Structure 1
């Protein structure tokens, strides 16, 4: 009986040793944007420290100064299995190429002002920890626009103008975004001519809002592109036909409305496209204002990244 007890004990110790060894081998580098979403990250840091063994994680804070290159160096030095980005779409956008370059798996803690990619994939502040531990690896398309990456949404006109004001006034959260929309209302409905060339064919439009979509929803939860997928090798161009007060506040910027009226958009599905304008228009990518532009070269890079999802 004593021999059996000792044998079972040895088996259990060996089993736990193998389990712990496996867990320790999964190293996580947490990349935290301390100012994203206007949210204090102290509680998040405490959660990470409580939930992960000391030698299985490292925390690295962004500073806003050459972060992509610094992250490359940090990944090379620490050699994590998973790089976990705590921030919004803009933070992920800035860091994703550094993660891809080192062929690391990507995790998300949605703690930004705009968390559109996480919202689309069902990653929340309630389930991010479970997703890191038990989630599955999902391929993620990256769209390159004038050699700048896009993971979620980019647009010309209406929304980009609001993002510009939002950043100039240093607002955070959905309420700040709504205030920006109200202030910009007098000048928001300015149509611009645009030519879209795709697969050797060109088409002309007049619009005040043109979306380049790699996904379905904006960070507010509004579904602008029902057919979108982050891994289908295609992006959608959603061109608004007519701008009305109802389309602005009743649909696009209404946090309680998650379904778009597709009659107000014309949608083109593409693998690559050239967008040309006769005048420069405000442009944003993943919630970050880029500037004014009159030319965009858009190219799909199919299933370039690996992302943990619930």
Structure 2
């Protein structure tokens, strides 16, 4: 008996500055061309994770496409935990770091072709307290930037650039203790990044040693602003000054902020201020369509 193929498109209508109507029309055309029955869910910010889980359970889609930023992608990936549903990314956020890591094109037609394509890989995720991170999460400077950006009026990379000046003036370093399976490190920090991936949405490789399928994540500690050492690190130079930058490759970590609560963000979504984070790797968490 013929069994119809199904695809679920999850759209964040307020992410980034791309025209979502164009995305909907082109995905619908591609779904029809490839003989998929298309269902669409638009996020509202209210119980989106639960709603997507219910749709996955009731529709049993063969493929899920996400048009949104990294936070929407991570949420939808969490909704398909324990399945082997192919996950397609259509970059439509303000900062599309995951798409940069996977080499996805910013061209909409090319991104849709990949999202419906046959090539896919399993990638890890990181559980941080009660949150799931596919990409890059952090405490400190960048999390404050995300907070300021969310409160700003301008979207896209221009919005991030404008908020950076304000953020640099507001931010203060903090003391942190990081405990892993093999070591304990206590230091002053500008930012502590829990990095499953390599690149921020700007294309900057903040974790040049990262591999999203290696069963590890990196903790990247920037202890102060030093443009020369940071430039060496970002270009993958392993001889950077460890008094400025430190990298730990781990499966588990406990991060304690010793002097105060610190700003925290997960995959581009501001989560508030925290004193302690517990992070652990989730191997082969989701299957993602890639070029």
1:222–1:260 Cα contact (<8 Å) kept: no
- 1:171-213: CA deviation from partner (whole Å, max 9, x where unpaired): 311110111111222223x211111111153111111111110
Distance in 2 (alpha carbons) for counterparts of 1:187 and 1:291? 16
| Among 140, 147, 152, the residue aligned to 2:130 | 147
Q: Distance in 2 between matches of 1:131 and 1:55?
A: 15
Task: Please point out which of 178, 193, 207 is paired with 1:225.
Answer: 207
Whole-angstrom CA distance in 2 between matches of 1:129 and 1:55: 14
Return the structure number with greater helix share.
Answer: 1
TM superposition score normalised by structure 1:
0.84
CA RMSD of aligned residues (A): 2.3
Q: How does 1:12-31 map to 2 (within 5 A)?
A: 25-31=4-10
| Alignment partner of 2:253 out of 255, 269, 273 | 273
CA distance 1:192–1:182, change in 2 (3 Å): same
Q: Which moved more, 1:167-176 or 1:85-94?
A: 167-176
- Report the counterpart of residue 178 of structure 2 in structure 1: 196
Counterpart contact for 1:32–1:86, Cα < 8 Å: yes
1:65 Cα offset (Å): 1.2
Contact kept in structure 2, 1:99 and 1:105, CA below 8 Å:
no
Whether 1:45 aligns to 2:27 is no
- Taking a change above 3 Å as real, the CA distance of residues 280 and 261 of structure 1, as seen in their structure-2 partners, is farther
Change (3 A) 1:140 1:265: same
**SS across alignment from 1:196:** strand
Deviates more, 1:63-72 or 1:95-104: 95-104
Matched, 1:297 2:278: yes
Equivalent-residue separation in structure 2 for 1:57 and 1:259 (angstroms): 42
1 CA distance for matches of 2:118 and 2:223?
40
User: What do the CA deviations read for 1:260-300 (whole angstroms, capped 9, x no partner)?
Assistant: 67624210110001011111111111001111111010100
User: Quick one: distance in 1 between partners of 2:20 and 2:180?
Assistant: 44
Residue 111 of structure 2 corresponds to which residue in structure 1? 128
Residue 159 of structure 1 is matched in structure 2 by 142
**In the alignment, is residue 208 of structure 1 matched against residue 190 of structure 2?**
yes
Deviations along 1:25-57, one digit per CA (max 9) or x if unpaired, are 442111111111032211111112222217522
Aligned counterpart for 2:88 among listed residues 107, 131, 135: 107
Q: Is the CA contact 1:157–1:281 (under 8 Å) kept in the aligned structure 2?
A: yes
Distance 1:169 1:197 in 2: 35
Over residues 207-251 of structure 1, what are the superposed CA-to-partner deviations in whole Å (9 max), with x where a residue is unaligned? 11111100111111000111101110000011113214x479x96
Query: Is residue 123–residue 309 contact of structure 1 (8 Å, CA) maintained in 2?
Result: yes
Match of 1:36 in 2: 15
Taking the aligned partners of 2:235 and 2:182, their CA distance within structure 1 comes to 33
Q: CA deviation at 1:102?
A: 4.4
Q: Mind listing any 5+ residue stretches in structure 1 that lack a counterpart?
A: 1-20, 252-257
- SS of the residue corresponding to residue 38 of structure 1 reads coil
Which stretches in structure 2 are left out of the alignment for 5+ residues?
none
The yes-or-no answer on 1:72 pairing with 2:53 is: yes
Say if 1:155 and 1:284, in contact at 8 Å, map to a contact too. Answer: yes
Structure 1 equivalent of residue 288 of structure 2 = 307
Q: Please tell me whether the aligned partners of residues 12 and 43 of structure 2 are also in contact (alpha carbons under 8 angstroms).
A: yes
In the superposition, the TM-score normalised over structure 2's length comes to 0.89
